[in-house]
A and B are shown apart, each in its own frame.
Chain A
Amino acid sequence: MASIDIKNVRKDFGPVSVLKGVDLAIASGEFAVLVGPSGCGKSTLLRLIAGLEDASSGEIHIGGRRVDDLPPRDRDIAMVFQSYALYPHMNVRDNMGYSLRLKRTPQARIAEIVGRAGAKLGLEALGERKPRELSGGQRQRVAMGRAIVRNPKAFLFDEPLSNLDARMREQMRFEIRKLHRDLGATSVYVTHDQIEAMTMADRIVAMNAGIIQQVGTPLELYDDPANVFVAGFIGSPAMNFLTGEARRGETGVALSVGGKAFCTLPQAVAVPEDGRVTIGIRPERIRIGVGAGQAVEAAADLVETTGAASVVHVDLAGQAMKIFTTERLQLSQGQRIPLAIEAKDVCLFDPAGGGRLR
């Protein structure tokens, strides 16, 4: 177990700047999830930690030791690849034991360690099989097994579940978490799936375009996003963004959308000169009907239901908005419905830079 410290790391591929100065401290034993859209540099950051790629500048420390100049084999980390990267010509047992063999561990000891890891992952019966004779889920477990027999300082996962079907993914999510609870090893987990990030992380590192946008616990990111990117990326269905105006009044900041009153924030907020703001509100925080908070009227458009809950698409002064509700509603298109919006649920963003207005 070890901490991982990344200090002002940049990575350029020729003229393309992929990581633009990343600072990140991951505590010993923490399960950190790197999340962001495709191409934002998550894998690149992970490969820098692993030593598969050299940073253009900056420092990487594992367990307090600077590792920039160490080859992957001397960094004492294990990695689970998205493609699993099992050795096709070796059976499951040899795949899992390869790192121990390289360390010249005695045969009997290897068998013992691999056996224990196999039992933990339910692979006992598969020891003799070659990777091509395994299902996707089993391959995934072997890849996990190969990592845990190492007993490394840290685990790195690069989208390990993205090749599995939805149900399998859910199960492995749970198993990886349990494994982490048992082993307590520092883990960096890369995904572009915000649900994986929310459910698995001790701390989420949200990245976009090579820059870390926000670091925090899942609920911190959910409730208190630092900018439009994080607000829109975390949460499903995604946060609603409306273009509106903010006007400072005596009782606080009055927000309006398309000229109609939307909500009044009691606290002082730094509003831009021209008063134009992006208003963010989560779909499940909007209540249909009359209740606490500002009353707003919208026109129903479409209802999508999953059985447990529904998403109601509405039109508010010409802007589309989604409402998440567990009530079963019968709404016809164009029907006027009253909505209740509470000031505490509203986030304001700067439409120019996307930063949060507080």
Chain B
Amino acid sequence: MRGSPRVRLIKWSLHYGVLFLFVVAALFPLYWLVKISLTPNDSLYTHSIDLWPATISLEHYATVIGNSDFLLFFRNSIIVSGVTAIASTLLAAAAGYAFSRFVFRGRYWIVGVMLVTQMFPLVIVITPIFSIFGPLGLTNSLTGLIIIYTAFNIPFATFLMQSFFDGIPKELEEAAMIDGATRFKALLQIIAPLTLPGIAATMGFCFTGAWGEILFALLLNSAASTSTFPVGLLLYSTRATIEFGPMMAAGVLALLPVCIFFFLIQRYLVQGLTAGAVKG
């Protein structure tokens, strides 16, 4: 199956050529974002398109941090995304565990309803949610956003967590329960440590989902004090102009928490933690 050296070289080149193209296509917008954020205002609107500005400056970053509400938007986004990630993952883990381990009445219907919620576009429910949240004081509030995001994340996160629990042999809990643990203790001390990759993946999924969400953030919260950063980004685009520099600088800054978040959880994303539980 090896083929001659020439065939192998061609295969190798094709393989890496395609990979290279993919990486370039994926990273180019990011690169452009960083480039524009570093380009000084006076050379931003020249006609020539350069791959890298002649001089770089941090003036846009200074504008964003010093002269706008961006730090506030950031704080709001981090609170909303962080709480959403933790709340959805905890609830989804509990529900996913139940789906994975127990047979109970109504299980079939609950799964069905959860699937249905994933089927229609969110726009449809915005008006009813707005009219429910208004009287409850949940518009213009971070809590309102957290509730919405958590609710919308849970079905998918539950299926995700269920599949991770399904991958853990149930003999492990049974062994722990025979060893003297309650089911809850077995879950905490035996199953949870093995589900860390799943928990990390689910948290990452929920965090990024909430971090980039704009529809509800825009429509439910109009006050600057409760705006999240995607809404804040829109402020740079007014009817008259679009301030590309600060917008891109804010965009770069917005990537940081997500990067940090994934950096923190990435070591749990590695698979293979359950290796050795059963026959190899």
Contact = CB atoms under 8 A, between A and B. Distances in A.
B177 A72 contact: yes
B176 A103 contact: no
Nearest to B279: A163
Interface string A44-77: 0000001110000000000000000001110101
A81 B181 contact: no
B175 A81 contact: yes
B177 A83 contact: no
Given A85-B171, A87-B176, A98-B176, A73 B275 contact: no
Contacts of A87: 172, 175-176, 190, 277
A133 B169 CA distance: 19
B222 interface: no
A99 interface: yes
A85 B180 contact: no
Interface in B165-209: 169, 171-172, 174-182, 185, 190, 193-194
Interface string B148-163: 0000000000000000
B178 A72 contact: yes
Given A73-B182, A102-B179, A84 B279 contact: yes
Contacts of B194: 88-89
Contacts of B273: 88-89
A355 B276 CA distance: 46
Contacts of B121: none
Nearest to A140: B279
B181 A73 contact: yes
A132 B275 CA distance: 6
A88 B171 CA distance: 12
B128 interface: no
A326 B131 CA distance: 91
A71 B186 CA distance: 13
Contacts of B175: 79, 81, 85-87, 146
Contacts of A134: 276
Contacts of B177: 52, 71-73
A283 interface: no
A78 B279 contact: no
A85 B179 contact: no
B280 A136 contact: yes
A79 B178 contact: yes
Give the most central of B169, B185, B279: most A CB within 10 Å: B279
Give the most central of B177, B181, B276, B279: most A CB within 10 Å: B276
Interface in B221-280: 273-280
Give the most central of A73, A103, A133, A150: most B CB within 10 Å: A73
Contacts of B278: 83-85
A72 B174 CA distance: 8
B195 to A, nearest CB: 11
Contacts of B181: 73, 102
Interface of A: 50-52, 71-73, 75, 77-79, 81, 83-89, 98-99, 102-103, 130-134, 136, 139, 146, 150, 163
7 smallest CB-CB distances across A and B, nearest first, come from: A132-B276, A131-B276, A85-B171, A83-B278, A99-B179, A102-B180, A85-B175
